[in-house]
């Protein structure tokens, strides 16, 4: 192939900046899952309660009243936060206890916003 052929094969319109590669599909999905878990006001409240807890954890029995939701609904929201890696869950007798693990959120933001 000659250089003239190479030039002829190149795109004829380049309006703006040179192409930049986005992050990969799998990584983008991982980051989106973390953000999506917090993309709901109830889960923002639940996460904020747990992360603000002085003891470093909260019983599900203490989460229902502040957010005004039933325990099954709270447990559903908490499962999404657990699945996203934003909290851990430990069952002790009758109650589940949740502790915050904000690492994935901080890592996601650091990756995106270069912080």
Q: Kindly list the residues in this chain that would bind its own copies in the complex (CB under 8 A).
A: 15-17, 19-23, 25, 28-29, 31-33, 35-49, 51-55, 58-59, 61-62, 65-67, 94-95, 102, 105-106, 109, 111-115
Smallest gap from residue 7 Cβ to its own copies (A): 20
> CA–CA separation, 67 vs 62, rounded Å?
10
- CB-nearer residue toward its own copies: 47 or 78: 47
- CB-nearer residue toward its own copies: 8 or 64: 64
- Which residue's entry shows tokens 């933001």? 109
- Which residue's entry shows tokens 């890592």? 107
- CB-nearer residue toward its own copies: 40 or 75: 40
Q: HEC string of 9-45?
A: HCCCCCCCCCCCCCCCHHHHHHHHHHHHHCCCHHHHH
Smallest gap from residue 2 Cβ to its own copies (A): 27
């Amino acid at each position: 192939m000659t250089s003239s052929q190479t030039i002829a094969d190149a795109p004829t319109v380049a309006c703006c900046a040179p192409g930049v590669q986005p992050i990969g599909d799998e990584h983008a999905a991982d980051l989106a899952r973390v953000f999506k878990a917090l993309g709901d006001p109830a889960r923002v409240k639940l996460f904020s309660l747990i992360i603000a807890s002085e003891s470093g954890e909260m019983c599900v029995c203490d989460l229902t009243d502040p957010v005004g939701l039933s325990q099954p609904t709270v447990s559903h929201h908490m499962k999404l936060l657990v699945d996203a890696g934003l909290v851990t869950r430990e069952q002790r007798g009758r109650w589940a206890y949740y502790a915050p693990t904000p690492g994935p959120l901080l890592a996601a933001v650091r990756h995106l916003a270069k912080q």
